[in-house]
Homo-oligomer: A and B are copies of this chain.
Amino acid sequence: MKVAALIMAGGRGERFWPKSRKSTPKQFLTLTHSDRTMIQSTVDRIRPLVAPEDIFIATNKDYRDLVRAQLPEIPEENILCEPMARNTAPCIGWGAVTMRRKYGDALMMVLPSDHIVLQPQLYLSVMRSAMAVAEETDALVTLGIPPASPDTGYGYIQFDTAAQTAHYNAFRVKRFVEKPDLETARQYLASGEYLWNSGMFVWKVSAILREIRSHLPDYEPVLEAINGAADRPEAEARAVLEAEFPKLRPISVDYGILEHSANVYVLPASFGWDDVGSWLAVGRISPANDMGNVIRGDVVTVNSTRCIVQGGDKTIAMVGLEDTIIVDTKDALLVCAKDSAGEIRKVLEILRAVNRTELL
């Protein structure tokens, strides 16, 4: 069966300020020691499974040029520019009708553009299994990460330990749960029945459209209207898209569809995954030096440990620091205690309040 991928790249992540900006969010950055940006790595990773002309990028129109510059191998018509951010269900619905028009049916991978995979070979192996399950069972298949800790930053997937597929390490999903509190997360971890929701999915185009019809019936006429105009002249197609897309209720695919579907499988997947949710992830993913610091750039260290430094074009000297994040860019510098990484968004609130839009 034809294999196609939809990479979701519309995010405007604020948690990597000052390196990520509204004009250049996380997925277009190199945050680790790689020389490829996160979206480039996402494409590199699936290339053994999908040809470039079968890869679609769903993004915001502000990022069209970034996508073209970073992914010149992707055909321009495969860049789906959403008129506005409406969460994942609208984006996936549009992607699915687009693939149906092009392929009839296909295996559709849905992938975030801003996650890290440290073991790409294991990733491919799991993905091949997921594709096989999706093709054989007609189900919605999701990848779940075995939790390493009772993390309250992820959604969790409860699976039925007794309901495994015949040939693959896939389990029927009982339910999706939103980010839990710490006590609940501890119970999830202890039960052995929960996986982190990675946001990576595989299904047939026909399967997801069928599920949309069942669980988001109001989507169908809108998606058909958008799809029906897609082959018309560009301005017309765009006008229909701009008029129709906002009618799609903003909801995630997890809670709009997967949660209600009886036919969802999860594959436990371990391939060095990280969703790179904050600067702390950079410290987790990247190799630390002898002093326990993760450093990029020209940095002089005196008695400093467990720091994360992303230098710009000047020398940075750290003296007597612990657990500190330093990020230097052309026009803004962040110095942040690790345990305050969650408050970086407050900097952006302040900058917005005083109209320093050039720094957002």
B302 touches A314 (CB 8 A): no
Q: Nearest Cβ distance between residue A203 and chain B, in whole angstroms?
A: 41
Mask of A327-360 contacts with B, CB within 8 angstroms, 1/0 = 0111111111101110110110011000010010
Q: Is A320 an interface residue (CB 8 A)?
A: yes
State A314–B359 Cα separation when bound (angstroms): 10
Which chain B residues border A330 with CB–CB below 8 Å? Answer: 314
Which chain B residues border A337 with CB–CB below 8 Å? Answer: 319-322
A333 touches B314 (CB 8 A): yes
B303 touches A319 (CB 8 A): no
Q: Is A326 an interface residue (CB 8 A)?
A: yes
State A346–B356 Cα separation when bound (angstroms): 37
Which chain B residues border A350 with CB–CB below 8 Å? Answer: 300, 302
Count the copies: 2
Q: Which residue of B lies closest to A332 (CB)?
A: B315
Q: Which residue of B lies closest to A334 (CB)?
A: B317
Q: Nearest Cβ distance between residue A296 and chain B, in whole angstroms?
A: 14
Which chain B residues border A328 with CB–CB below 8 Å? Answer: 333
State A164–B91 Cα separation when bound (angstroms): 89
B333 touches A319 (CB 8 A): no
B326 touches A335 (CB 8 A): yes
A314 touches B340 (CB 8 A): no
B315, B320, B343: the one within 8 Å of A320 (CB)? B343
Q: Is A310 an interface residue (CB 8 A)?
A: no
B18 touches A340 (CB 8 A): no
Q: Which 9 residue pairs spanning A and B have beta carbons closest together?
A: A320-B340, A320-B337, A319-B336, A317-B347, A302-B346, A315-B332, A316-B333, A319-B340, A317-B334
**Other contacts beyond A315-B359, A316-B335, A319-B347: 13, CB < 8 A:** A18-B317, A302-B340, A302-B344, A302-B347, A303-B346, A315-B332, A315-B351, A317-B332, A317-B333, A318-B335, A319-B335, A324-B335, A335-B335
